[in-house]
Structure 1
């Protein structure tokens, strides 16, 4: 009978390990993720695109001047010339120091995420554990009674394992998005030089802030799930082993589906919050 229980316990152990890995990942910065090797590549790509961003900066600036100023006489006015100079200087600063700005935004939002973690305590996050009543009930079953139990634990174990990998892949995907935003940042930030194209830069920074904020949403989702884990599904000791196992596994998978769905929709939740 140990093999029947092992199917479910191994899957639950995998789930707990992935959940703990998520907490670890959400405390890391892009510079330290996977030893920092990926970040070095992103920095090289960013620096290579910096020259293109500066060239586009001039192009968008000239285009913005042509669209906003009706004639050369208007450009010669001191207030108009000062406004254009300030716009160009700010846009150039965004392109040249865009990576520093994005890292500052990440650090601010990361501080929010870490504050949430410190409030509940990382070590206090409850793990999912198979109740002893079910283990004892399965151990008392005969050979023929164990056949449906084996099927339930096998299917439940496969489903839980799939959910755990879907959840961790979503968190890894957030890091990929952070790297992509950072690498390509000189291009959209150069749009700030033109009055008619500045919305592209604003939307880009809002979207980047949204990706950073996804970490806080994922942490909140994990905390809520931990409350479910602290109060596991009620097991009826008078029911048969198959009913106990089926009821527990079904409710457990439902709770896991809620968490995985929330983690998967973290980007959508952030977009709704920020109006993106």
Structure 2
């Protein structure tokens, strides 16, 4: 690492960005069961189990309400074909509550397979690191004291922006994990709505929303891959320009690309929901 403070500041900011990008790459391919050693998942499993009892109670309630609303008279319920239809609906709804966690994990596993396929197809094992060009390092190190004054301001502002964008991006990925945990924990209650025909839309909306959260990972990976392609072809640096102009031009274009990536990560939820018609 260079002994120049300006270069060190920029390199430290880029190092933070690269570290957060690598962390995202690791988190996206990680299962909620192993996240943070699995301690959070154990709590979620306990909550899910406790809410199953409430889910079974709501199952009966939704079933009775559905029978009352869909059947014109008690005579219809006694018809064999109608009674069989109601029995199958009740049994399927009970099965969804009982094995809801397994079904949700199976859906997450499918999406994780999609993410792995995207990574393999793109040929990226890890995201490309963003490195400060040697031309800028040389130009900054050759600057005198007075020439370095505007560079201090540029690097302080640029470095601060990069730090903030790094943490905004990683917070979005952590937020996805929190949503996965909350959906899994509360699942028995909305899934119980499948017992009644009038209320089944609640369960359908819940599953579609959960699938959207899972698919956020694929959108985030795509955004990181596109940014990695940009990082492998850094902004062109004019060696004949003044050091301040070189740094300002490079930092400006780099921050613009980072803003696009962070915006894509932040909007992953909206993008997937629009794709699924939610």
* TM class, shorter-length: over 0.9
User: Contact between 2:22 and 2:126, CA under 8 Å: does it hold in 1?
Assistant: no
Question: Which digits, 9 at most, give the CA deviation of each residue in 1:237-256, with x for residues without a partner?
Answer: 11100000000000000000
Q: Which residue of 2 aligns with 1:50?
A: 52
Mapping 1:133-148, distance limit 5 Å: 133-148=135-150
Mapping 1:49-68, distance limit 5 Å: 49-68=51-70
Q: Which residue of 2 aligns with 1:149?
A: 151
CA distance in 2, matches of 1:21, 1:54: 40
Q: CA RMSD in A?
A: 0.9
CA distance in 2, matches of 1:56, 1:169: 35
User: Contact between 2:17 and 2:162, CA under 8 Å: does it hold in 1?
Assistant: yes
User: Contact between 1:23 and 1:122, CA under 8 Å: does it hold in 2?
Assistant: no
Task: Return the match for 2:260 from 245, 253, 258.
Answer: 258
The answer for unaligned runs of 5 or more in structure 2 is none
Mapping 1:27-46, distance limit 5 Å: 27-46=29-48
CA distance in 1, matches of 2:105, 2:160: 39
Question: Which digits, 9 at most, give the CA deviation of each residue in 1:124-177, with x for residues without a partner?
Answer: 532101000011001111101101101100110011000000000100000000
CA distance in 2, matches of 1:168, 1:6: 23
User: Contact between 2:13 and 2:159, CA under 8 Å: does it hold in 1?
Assistant: yes
Question: Alignment length, in residue pairs?
Answer: 276
Q: Which residue of 2 aligns with 1:16?
A: 18
CA distance in 1, matches of 2:221, 2:252: 24
CA distance in 2, matches of 1:270, 1:17: 26
SS of 1:123's partner is: coil
TM-score normalised by L of structure 2: 0.98
Question: Which digits, 9 at most, give the CA deviation of each residue in 1:46-69, with x for residues without a partner?
Answer: 000000000000000000000000
Question: Which digits, 9 at most, give the CA deviation of each residue in 1:77-125, with x for residues without a partner?
Answer: 1111011001000100011110000000000111000111122344353
Mapping 1:163-178, distance limit 5 Å: 163-178=165-180
Q: Which residue of 2 aligns with 1:7?
A: 9
Task: Return the match for 1:182 from 175, 181, 184.
Answer: 184
Asked if residue 115 in structure 1 is aligned to residue 146 in structure 2, the reply is no
SS of 1:130's partner is: coil
CA distance in 2, matches of 1:123, 1:197: 45
Asked if residue 241 in structure 1 is aligned to residue 246 in structure 2, the reply is no
Change (3 A) 1:60 1:124: closer
SS of 1:234's partner is: coil
CA distance in 1, matches of 2:27, 2:124: 12
Mapping 1:65-144, distance limit 5 Å: 65-123=67-125, 125-144=127-146
TM-score normalised by L of structure 1: 0.98
The answer for unaligned runs of 5 or more in structure 1 is none
SS of 1:236's partner is: coil
SS of 2:125's partner is: helix
CA distance in 1, matches of 2:179, 2:163: 25
SS of 1:242's partner is: helix
CA distance in 1, matches of 2:125, 2:189: 42
CA distance in 2, matches of 1:224, 1:141: 35
